[in-house]
């Protein structure tokens, strides 16, 4: 039987919501929300990525945005039926704005809205040419003046950046830049992606030999083209590199390899950037209207310097510089750090026959990859979930609908299950001397990642090597180098022919400081983190990833990064913001992020 009660309750709330919106009554809309409610908006209402809390937050947002947004016509998505579970009704919704169409997810509790996600997915009059609207691709009949697809494509590649200027310049050609480039291509936004590596995918190929995706394949699709059904669950880095290279060609991206940005400055009067790039030895000056730094979620490598480096007779590498284990068979290797890169490098060195010691400087959260798939991701991202109707796109929306303020409450029980399931595994690690943690509040990997982007390892085999004593452990901070090794602060000396500093990366806005100016970087402020007031993520509370995928304090400067999932999902919202500006649509931004910390 259909759950008519849930459907009726949902329709009643939607009717009241639409009536209040039609009347322009922000206070009446706010009264439909519970006291502990959350409205997360992705571009649709705020032209921002913003979460407001409680009726007061809703009312303030609508007082600023309701008149300009044209928000209306909330309705249950076609083919969807609201469902009730544990006193909470969940309903998939569609809605309209003055400039676009949106979708989202509403949760109703005690007859009022508890959580609401509103996400813009297309602009009216500028819909993507896909599905029934896809281009013909060729004109039938004889026309001697008609250029072929190849002729048009070659002309575009030869003229864009020279005879004509891109509207958007993306600096960074990894998965983030490529995903955004594909979205912009579909929206008709002239875009150039620049990358200093030799070809697309080299940002993966050039990493250490053993690198592979630690996320399952269902979590990692790019826009428009999903990985094949026979793709491995955890793809090796070189396979990912080949996929990214294929993707850039198939999606017809204007990708300038062997190109490095040397300087950038913004002319507010002209509303354009001047960006000088070195394109394979040729200096080219570009004048995009929008500049996107798609350099990942991290900044430049953090490679600390220690006394005695000049006398050390071995090699010192940052993890990003590590070429792989092949040259180190029989050598003594010390890896400073205990997160993903450190574990992967240690495992690969051990497999190559090296004597390996990991230096754990602080506690680390470990979760086994199969457990993460089964408990942490399986309900949303798995073959079983897809078979049950939870597509990747729907999973993205469900995950996005959980406000960051309370996301940890949903995560804690999952990690308690993981801890119990793998109890013997964790006991083995602790017995070996490995120092574990589960996050500041026991909420585990996802919250660690969102709050600071580090402090964890998704185990794909290295942990057992630690348990078995095959990867040795040391603890503490590095004090200095001797001629033959590393000296820790407690005086312990670790003999080494190779020292790998798996010491992470700085803030993304470090790239802005180097490319544009320190003044602009400080004006923008910290990138990444929620302001959760947990280690490495100081407050105040922001409630969204700082400066990511949304307007910043520097006009026409954007940041795009994160894992494959975030690159896929959030590239849509950034692309829509850029397209709207290109077309001259009004984009009044609500609650532009304030700057509290330099990053």
pLDDT in tens, 86-134: 999 999 999 999 999 999 999 999 999 999 999 999 999 999 999 888 8
Looking at the fold, whether 347 and 452 belong to one and the same domain comes out as yes
Q: What is the DSSP string of 420-437?
A: HHTHHHHHHHHHTT--B-
Q: Work out the number of other CB atoms within 10 angstroms of the CB of residue 70.
A: 16
CA nearest neighbour of 203 among 220, 232, 178, 170: 178
Looking at the fold, whether 452 and 562 belong to one and the same domain comes out as no
Element (H, E) at 500: strand 498-501
Cis geometry, peptide bond prior to residue 52 (ω within 30 degrees of 0): no
Looking at the fold, whether 224 and 354 belong to one and the same domain comes out as no
Residue 200, in any domain of the structure: yes
Residue 249, in any domain of the structure: yes
Q: Can you tell me the distance from the alpha carbon of 300 to that of 413, in angstroms, rounded to the nearest whole number? A: 35
Looking at the fold, whether 294 and 343 belong to one and the same domain comes out as no
* Overall pTM surpassing 0.85 (yes/no): yes
What are the pLDDT tens digits along the chain (599 aa)?
445 699 999 999 999 999 999 999 999 999 999 999 999 999 999 999 999 999 999 999 999 999 999 999 999 999 999 999 999 999 999 999 999 999 999 999 999 999 999 999 999 999 999 988 888 877 666 677 788 899 999 999 999 999 999 999 999 999 999 999 999 999 999 999 999 999 999 988 887 777 788 788 889 999 999 999 999 988 999 999 999 999 999 999 999 999 999 999 999 999 999 999 999 999 999 999 999 999 875 567 889 999 999 999 999 999 989 988 999 999 999 999 999 999 999 999 999 999 999 999 999 999 999 999 899 888 899 888 888 899 999 999 999 999 999 999 999 999 999 999 999 999 999 999 999 999 989 999 889 989 876 789 999 899 999 999 999 999 999 999 999 999 999 999 999 999 999 998 877 888 899 999 999 999 999 889 999 998 888 899 999 999 999 999 999 999 999 999 999 999 999 999 999 999 999 999 999 998 865 44
Looking at the fold, whether 43 and 176 belong to one and the same domain comes out as no
Parent domain of 219: 152-300+507-582
Q: pLDDT tens for residues 499-525?
A: 999 998 877 888 899 999 999 999 999
Residue 568, in any domain of the structure: yes
436 phi and psi angles, rounded to 5 deg: -100, 155
How far, in whole angstroms, is CA 510 from its chain's centroid? 18
Residue 104, in any domain of the structure: yes
* Nearby residues of 216 by Cβ (< 8 Å), 6 or more positions away: 233, 234, 373, 377, 381, 382
Looking at the fold, whether 344 and 491 belong to one and the same domain comes out as yes
Looking at the fold, whether 484 and 441 belong to one and the same domain comes out as yes
Q: Which of 501, 530, 546 is the last residue of a domain?
A: 501
Looking at the fold, whether 68 and 201 belong to one and the same domain comes out as no
Contact indicator for 496, 316 with CB cutoff of 8 Å: no
The pLDDT of residue 598 is: 43
Q: Can you tell me the distance from the alpha carbon of 360 to that of 336, in angstroms, rounded to the nearest whole number? A: 7
Provide the greatest CA pair distance for the chain: 82
The pLDDT of residue 201 is: 92
Residue 129, in any domain of the structure: no
Q: Can you tell me the distance from the alpha carbon of 56 to that of 172, in angstroms, rounded to the nearest whole number? A: 40
Residue 364, in any domain of the structure: yes
Looking at the fold, whether 232 and 170 belong to one and the same domain comes out as yes
Looking at the fold, whether 391 and 451 belong to one and the same domain comes out as yes
The pLDDT of residue 33 is: 98
Looking at the fold, whether 353 and 497 belong to one and the same domain comes out as yes
Element (H, E) at 510: helix 509-515
Q: What is the CATH number of the domain that holds 31?
A: 3.10.450.50
Contact indicator for 120, 549 with CB cutoff of 8 Å: no
- Any idea what DSSP says for residue 270? T
Q: What is the CATH number of the domain that holds 423?
A: 3.50.50.60
Residue 140, in any domain of the structure: no
Residue 308, in any domain of the structure: no
Q: What is the mean pLDDT of the chain?
A: 93
Looking at the fold, whether 326 and 410 belong to one and the same domain comes out as yes
Total number of domains constituting the chain: 3
Burial of 105 (0-12, 13-18, 19+ CB in 10 A): buried
């Amino acid at each position: 039987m259909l759950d008519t009660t849930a459907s009726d309750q949902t329709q009643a709330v939607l009717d009241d919501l639409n009536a209040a919106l039609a009347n322009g009554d922000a206070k009446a809309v706010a009264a439909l929300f519970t006291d502990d409610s959350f409205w997360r908006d992705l571009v649709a209402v705020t032209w921002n990525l913003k979460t407001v809390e409680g009726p007061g937050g809703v009312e303030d947002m609508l007082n600023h945005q309701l008149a300009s947004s044209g928000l209306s016509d909330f309705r249950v998505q076609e083919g969807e039926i609201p469902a009730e579970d544990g006193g909470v009704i969940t309903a998939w919704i569609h809605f309209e704005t003055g400039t676009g169409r949106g979708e989202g997810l509403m949760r109703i509790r005690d007859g009022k809205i508890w959580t609401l996600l509103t996400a813009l997915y297309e602009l009216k009059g500028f819909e993507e040419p896909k599905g029934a609207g896809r281009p013909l691709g060729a004109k039938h009949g004889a026309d001697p003046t008609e250029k072929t697809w190849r002729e048009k494509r070659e002309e575009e590649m030869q003229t864009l950046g020279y005879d004509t200027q891109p509207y958007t310049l993306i600096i960074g050609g990894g998965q983030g830049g490529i995903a955004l480039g594909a979205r912009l291509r579909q929206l008709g936004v002239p875009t150039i992606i620049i990358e200093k590596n030799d070809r697309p995918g080299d940002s993966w190929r050039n990493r250490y030999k053993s690198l592979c995706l630690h996320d399952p394949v269902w979590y990692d699709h790019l826009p428009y083209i999903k990985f094949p059904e026979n793709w491995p669950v955890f793809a090796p880095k070189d396979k990912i590199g080949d996929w990214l290279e294929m993707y850039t060609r198939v999606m017809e991206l204007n990708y300038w390899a062997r190109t490095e940005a040397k300087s950038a400055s913004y002319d507010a009067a002209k509303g354009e950037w001047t960006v000088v790039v070195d394109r394979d030895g040729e200096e080219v000056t570009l004048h995009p209207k929008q500049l996107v730094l798609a350099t990942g979620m991290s900044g430049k490598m953090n490679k600390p310097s220690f006394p005695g480096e000049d006398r050390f007779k071995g090699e010192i590498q940052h993890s990003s510089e590590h070429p792989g284990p092949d040259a180190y068979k029989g050598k003594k290797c010390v890896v400073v750090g205990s997160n993903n890169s450190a574990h992967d490098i240690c495992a690969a060195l051990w497999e190559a026959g090296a004597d390996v010691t990991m230096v754990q400087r602080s506690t680390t959260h470990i979760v086994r990859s199969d457990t993460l798939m089964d408990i942490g991701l399986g309900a949303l991202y798995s073959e079983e979930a897809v078979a049950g109707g939870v597509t990747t796109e729907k999973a993205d929306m469900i995950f996005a609908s959980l406000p960051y303020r309370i996301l940890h409450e949903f995560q804690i029980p999952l990690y308690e299950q993981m801890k119990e399931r793998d109890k013997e595994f964790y006991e083995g690690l602790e017995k070996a001397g490995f120092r574990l943690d589960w996050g500041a509040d026991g909420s585990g990997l996802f919250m660690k990642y969102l709050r600071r982007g580090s402090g964890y390892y998704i185990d794909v085999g290295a942990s057992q090597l630690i348990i078995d004593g095959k990867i040795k452990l040391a603890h503490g901070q590095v004090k200095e180098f001797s001629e033959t090794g590393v000296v820790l602060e407690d005086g312990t000396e670790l003999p080494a022919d190779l020292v790998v500093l798996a010491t992470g990366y700085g803030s993304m806005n470090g790239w802005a400081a180097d490319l544009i100016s320190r003044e602009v970087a400080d004006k923008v402020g910290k990138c990444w983190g929620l302001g959760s007031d947990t280690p490495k993520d100081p407050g105040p509370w922001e409630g969204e990833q700082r400066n990511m995928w949304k307007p910043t304090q520097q006009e026409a400067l954007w940041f795009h990064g994160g894992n494959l999932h975030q690159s896929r999902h959030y590239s849509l919202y950034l692309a829509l913001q850029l397209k709207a500006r290109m077309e001259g649509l009004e984009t009044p931004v609500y609650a532009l992020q304030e700057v509290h910390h330099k990053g």
